[in-house]
Amino acid sequence: MSTAHDDLDAWKRQRTLELAHELADSGRYEDFTDIAYALQFERGMATAQALIDGPDMRRVLNQRCADAREKLAPPAPIPAPEVLEVLEAAPDTSNDHAQLPKAADFERAPSLLRRALGIVWRSGNAGDLNSAPS
């Protein structure tokens, strides 16, 4: 009886890990906590969080979630040639204290922050974040 129970537990663990990876790769989940919730409450896997709750697994799932969401994100619009000319002619510095971040500034940022800043950066409104109404 013990062997059958061990086999069932091993199968449950393996199936939980497979589902967790599938959910992470879907791009619909922000991070590990969303996946644990989905497994537990949407899939009825009461022990799922305990099975996937470890620092290495959290790191893997969080990275897979971020990678999948980035693949699903719409590409940045390509500026018209006349906009590119204006951007190229603009000086690299200004007297404004709020500088637009460079793409390299986002590479190590957490995914949600990176996506939010990317939207602001692409829209050109980064200077508006620090300006108070007069």
The DSSP-derived string for 92-134 is S--S-S-PPPPGGGGTTS-HHHHHHHHHHHHHT-GGGGSPPP-
Q: 54 and 92 share a domain? A: no
H-helix or E-strand spanning residue 29: none
Q: 55 and 90 share a domain? A: no
The pLDDT of residue 58: 93
The pLDDT of residue 32: 92
Spatial CA neighbour of 72 closest among 18, 26, 118, 22: 26
Per-residue pLDDT of the chain (134 residues; tens, 9 = 90+): 567 778 888 888 899 999 999 999 999 999 999 999 999 998 888 888 888 889 999 999 999 999 999 998 887 777 677 766 666 666 555 555 566 666 665 555 556 655 666 666 565 544 554 545 54
Q: How many domains does the chain have?
A: 2
Q: 35 and 86 share a domain? A: no
Q: 103 and 56 share a domain? A: no
Burial 32-56 (b: 16+ CB within 10 A, else e): beebbebbeeeeebeebbebbeeee
pTM equals 0.54
Which domain-ending residue is among 34, 51, 72? 72
The pLDDT of residue 75: 79
The pLDDT of residue 22: 96
Q: 37 and 86 share a domain? A: no
